[in-house]
Amino acid sequence: MRYIDDDLENKTILITGGAGFIGSNLAFYFQENHPKAKVVVLDLFRSGETLSNGNLKSFGHFKNLIGFRGEVISGDINDKDLLLDLEVNYKFDYIFHEAAISDTTALEQDLMIKTNVNAYKDLLNLARAHDANMIYASSAATYGNAPSPQRVGCESPQNVYGFSKLSMDHISREYMKESDISIVGLRYFNVYGPREYFKNTTASMVLQFGHQILAGKNPRLFEGSDKILRDFIYIEDIVQANIKAMHPKESGIYNVGTAKARSFQDIVDILQKELGTTLECEYIKNPFVGSYQFHTEADIASTQEMLGYTPAYEMEDGIKAYVSEIQRLYKEEVK
């Protein structure tokens, strides 16, 4: 679905992290709905390099871009020579900044700040030099254990990832005061949908539960999962918010969720209905009690007002739209 009237003819769009989950979905949105635009994808494609927790440093995967016909650049946003090349040899009209160390369990604070905060400031300078509107990924992790509904201005990050995203928001507000370009930070809540598979263990529980069920395993949930609630949002609504953020009524930081909290039990029940299974759930003790969010729900009033964003997918709709891809991945990637 096309979310703006502009055909973007002769416009050049940079998507950092474009081989990742959200970035690749944006790349295909433009290719399918605005074919006259030039799209440049920049990503630090995975190399096997891992963080100290054993997870991959980069989740970028070429399979997320199969069928993409735009320009693809492999590179690190920390590379100042690369950023200079982008400034000198390109002229961007819009920058969608999705690249980040996005693993919330990463312990490398130096790498997290360097990549998520310092490199973002360099990209803001690139945007200003090109007079390009900036749309970037903030995160609901900025809220930590703040009570629901989560509202901009009530942040309490509990890990360095959330801290880094909040630092990006602070920098953005300073640039908003002195720039003619629009700058929009989007605080994503729990996103699920196609092209997340290569996030591995950090992929959504929608995908992970789906593959457990397809393997014939009893879905494993924490005790009381019917009372553990999250704002789960389907990728198509994330794309919608990004596109509408290209021309906001006002620069700012905005939540992107559904404004409805749903349980992990709901996920399993909907998946079982869609997959035609009746596996018995297995309930295990939650080892994270005391450091675990039991309720997230985005306040999206300002997002609706300033971006014209309205979520289109209830969880039932999102899982129904996603389930064939979950099945394909299980058959082609998991088995």
Active site residues: 161, 199
CA distance 252 to 21: 23
For residues 169 and 117, the answer to whether their CB atoms sit within 8 Å is no
> Rounded distance, CA 247 to CA 241, Å?
11
How do beta strands 232-234 and 190-192 pair? parallel
Q: CA–CA separation, 76 vs 100, rounded Å?
A: 10
Q: What token pair was written down for 85? A: 């090349």
3-state SS, 5-29, equals CCCCCCCEEEEECCCCHHHHHHHHH
Confirm if 232 and 318 have CB atoms less than 8 A apart: yes
- Helices 315-329 and 205-214: crossing angle in degrees, nearest 10, is 50
* Of residues 155, 138, 137, the one with CA closest to residue 146: 155
Which CB contacts under 8 angstroms, 24+ apart, belong to 114-118?
114/78, 115/77, 115/78, 116/161, 116/164, 116/165, 116/167, 116/168, 117/164, 117/167, 117/168, 117/171, 118/78
DSSP string, 175-192: HHHH-SS-EEEEEE-EEE
